[in-house]
Amino acid sequence: MNIVNLASHEQPPMDLLLLADPSPKLVEEYIQRGQCYVAKAEELILGVYVLLPTRPETVEIVNIAVDERHQGQGIGKKLVNHAIETARQLGYKTIEIGTGNSSIGQLALYQKCGFRMTWIDRDFFIRHYEEPIYENGMQVIDMVRLSQDL
Protein backbone atom coordinates (compact mmCIF):
# COMPACT_ATOMS: atom_id res chain seq x y z
CA MET A 1 0.00 0.00 0.00
CA ASN A 2 1.18 3.46 -0.95
CA ILE A 3 -0.18 6.80 0.34
CA VAL A 4 0.09 9.61 -2.21
CA ASN A 5 -1.07 13.19 -2.64
CA LEU A 6 -3.82 13.25 -5.25
CA ALA A 7 -2.75 15.28 -8.28
CA SER A 8 -4.85 18.37 -9.04
CA HIS A 9 -6.19 16.79 -12.26
CA GLU A 10 -7.28 13.58 -10.47
CA GLN A 11 -10.82 13.24 -9.16
CA PRO A 12 -11.08 12.67 -5.40
CA PRO A 13 -12.85 9.44 -4.38
CA MET A 14 -16.20 11.00 -3.46
CA ASP A 15 -17.76 7.65 -2.52
CA LEU A 16 -15.14 7.23 0.22
CA LEU A 17 -15.21 10.87 1.32
CA LEU A 18 -19.00 10.63 1.71
CA LEU A 19 -18.57 7.61 4.03
CA ALA A 20 -16.98 9.95 6.57
CA ASP A 21 -19.05 13.05 5.79
CA PRO A 22 -22.53 12.63 4.28
CA SER A 23 -22.71 16.23 3.02
CA PRO A 24 -21.58 16.51 -0.64
CA LYS A 25 -21.69 20.30 -0.27
CA LEU A 26 -19.29 20.37 2.71
CA VAL A 27 -16.97 17.79 1.14
CA GLU A 28 -16.77 19.80 -2.11
CA GLU A 29 -15.98 22.97 -0.13
CA TYR A 30 -13.04 21.58 1.83
CA ILE A 31 -11.69 19.49 -1.06
CA GLN A 32 -11.16 22.77 -2.93
CA ARG A 33 -9.17 24.27 -0.04
CA GLY A 34 -7.26 21.24 1.22
CA GLN A 35 -4.91 18.51 0.03
CA CYS A 36 -6.35 15.05 -0.65
CA TYR A 37 -4.24 11.95 0.02
CA VAL A 38 -5.18 8.42 -1.03
CA ALA A 39 -4.01 4.99 0.06
CA LYS A 40 -3.61 2.77 -2.98
CA ALA A 41 -2.85 -0.87 -3.54
CA GLU A 42 -1.94 -1.02 -7.22
CA GLU A 43 -4.74 1.05 -8.78
CA LEU A 44 -7.36 0.33 -6.09
CA ILE A 45 -8.05 3.20 -3.67
CA LEU A 46 -8.37 1.76 -0.15
CA GLY A 47 -8.62 4.96 1.87
CA VAL A 48 -8.48 8.73 1.79
CA TYR A 49 -7.89 11.76 3.99
CA VAL A 50 -8.00 15.51 3.46
CA LEU A 51 -5.56 17.87 5.18
CA LEU A 52 -6.76 21.47 5.49
CA PRO A 53 -4.80 24.46 6.84
CA THR A 54 -7.07 26.20 9.36
CA ARG A 55 -5.00 28.75 11.29
CA PRO A 56 -1.35 29.83 11.30
CA GLU A 57 0.79 26.76 12.06
CA THR A 58 -2.33 24.54 12.38
CA VAL A 59 -3.73 21.95 10.00
CA GLU A 60 -6.77 19.71 10.37
CA ILE A 61 -7.66 16.26 9.08
CA VAL A 62 -11.15 17.18 7.91
CA ASN A 63 -12.07 13.82 6.41
CA ILE A 64 -10.64 10.34 6.73
CA ALA A 65 -12.23 7.16 5.42
CA VAL A 66 -11.36 3.57 4.56
CA ASP A 67 -13.27 1.49 2.03
CA GLU A 68 -15.72 -0.66 4.01
CA ARG A 69 -14.32 -3.86 2.47
CA HIS A 70 -10.85 -3.02 3.83
CA GLN A 71 -11.70 -1.73 7.31
CA GLY A 72 -10.13 -3.43 10.32
CA GLN A 73 -6.79 -3.94 8.55
CA GLY A 74 -4.86 -1.00 10.04
CA ILE A 75 -5.30 1.26 7.01
CA GLY A 76 -7.02 4.00 9.05
CA LYS A 77 -4.14 4.07 11.53
CA LYS A 78 -1.64 4.29 8.65
CA LEU A 79 -3.60 7.19 7.16
CA VAL A 80 -3.71 9.07 10.49
CA ASN A 81 0.01 8.53 11.06
CA HIS A 82 0.77 9.62 7.48
CA ALA A 83 -1.25 12.81 8.04
CA ILE A 84 0.67 13.53 11.25
CA GLU A 85 4.03 13.01 9.54
CA THR A 86 2.98 15.05 6.49
CA ALA A 87 1.86 17.94 8.69
CA ARG A 88 5.15 17.78 10.59
CA GLN A 89 7.17 17.82 7.33
CA LEU A 90 5.14 20.78 6.07
CA GLY A 91 6.14 22.74 9.17
CA TYR A 92 2.85 22.80 11.06
CA LYS A 93 3.01 22.95 14.87
CA THR A 94 -0.46 21.51 15.60
CA ILE A 95 -2.69 18.98 13.90
CA GLU A 96 -6.38 18.72 14.74
CA ILE A 97 -9.21 16.31 14.00
CA GLY A 98 -12.88 16.18 14.92
CA THR A 99 -15.40 13.38 15.06
CA GLY A 100 -18.92 12.71 16.22
CA ASN A 101 -19.78 12.03 19.85
CA SER A 102 -20.89 8.52 18.88
CA SER A 103 -17.78 7.66 16.84
CA ILE A 104 -16.37 5.31 19.46
CA GLY A 105 -13.91 3.51 17.18
CA GLN A 106 -12.57 6.74 15.73
CA LEU A 107 -12.13 8.33 19.16
CA ALA A 108 -10.08 5.31 20.26
CA LEU A 109 -7.99 5.34 17.08
CA TYR A 110 -7.16 9.04 17.26
CA GLN A 111 -6.10 8.79 20.90
CA LYS A 112 -3.94 5.73 20.11
CA CYS A 113 -2.24 7.90 17.47
CA GLY A 114 -1.41 10.59 20.05
CA PHE A 115 -4.35 12.99 19.81
CA ARG A 116 -5.85 14.47 22.97
CA MET A 117 -9.41 15.69 23.40
CA THR A 118 -9.48 19.48 23.51
CA TRP A 119 -13.13 20.56 23.41
CA ILE A 120 -16.69 19.74 22.39
CA ASP A 121 -18.46 21.70 19.65
CA ARG A 122 -21.98 21.29 21.00
CA ASP A 123 -24.76 20.68 18.47
CA PHE A 124 -22.30 20.81 15.53
CA PHE A 125 -24.09 18.08 13.58
CA ILE A 126 -27.50 19.66 14.26
CA ARG A 127 -26.29 23.04 12.95
CA HIS A 128 -24.40 21.80 9.86
CA TYR A 129 -26.43 18.85 8.56
CA GLU A 130 -30.02 18.94 7.35
CA GLU A 131 -30.71 15.26 8.05
CA PRO A 132 -29.99 13.57 11.39
CA ILE A 133 -27.00 11.20 11.37
CA TYR A 134 -27.04 8.00 13.43
CA GLU A 135 -24.05 5.89 14.39
CA ASN A 136 -23.63 3.07 16.90
CA GLY A 137 -27.33 3.28 17.75
CA MET A 138 -27.33 6.96 18.72
CA GLN A 139 -27.72 10.33 17.03
CA VAL A 140 -24.53 12.19 16.21
CA ILE A 141 -25.02 15.60 17.82
CA ASP A 142 -21.72 17.01 19.10
CA MET A 143 -18.30 17.24 17.47
CA VAL A 144 -15.48 16.01 19.71
CA ARG A 145 -12.35 17.99 18.84
CA LEU A 146 -8.88 16.52 19.34
CA SER A 147 -5.41 17.90 18.68
CA GLN A 148 -1.76 16.99 18.84
CA ASP A 149 1.35 19.15 19.10
CA LEU A 150 3.88 18.28 16.41
- pLDDT tens by residue, the chain, 150 residues: 999 999 888 899 999 999 999 999 999 999 999 999 999 999 899 999 999 999 999 999 999 999 999 999 999 999 999 999 999 999 999 999 999 999 999 999 999 999 999 999 999 999 999 899 999 999 999 999 999 999
Sheet holding 2-5, edge to edge: 2-5, 35-41, 44-55, 58-66, 94-100, 143-149, 116-121
* 2-149 has CATH 3.40.50.150 classification: no
* Domain boundaries of the chain, sorted by first residue: 2-149
- Name 93's Cβ contacts closer than 8 Å, sequence gap at least 6: 57, 58, 149, 150
The pTM assigned to this predicted structure is 0.93
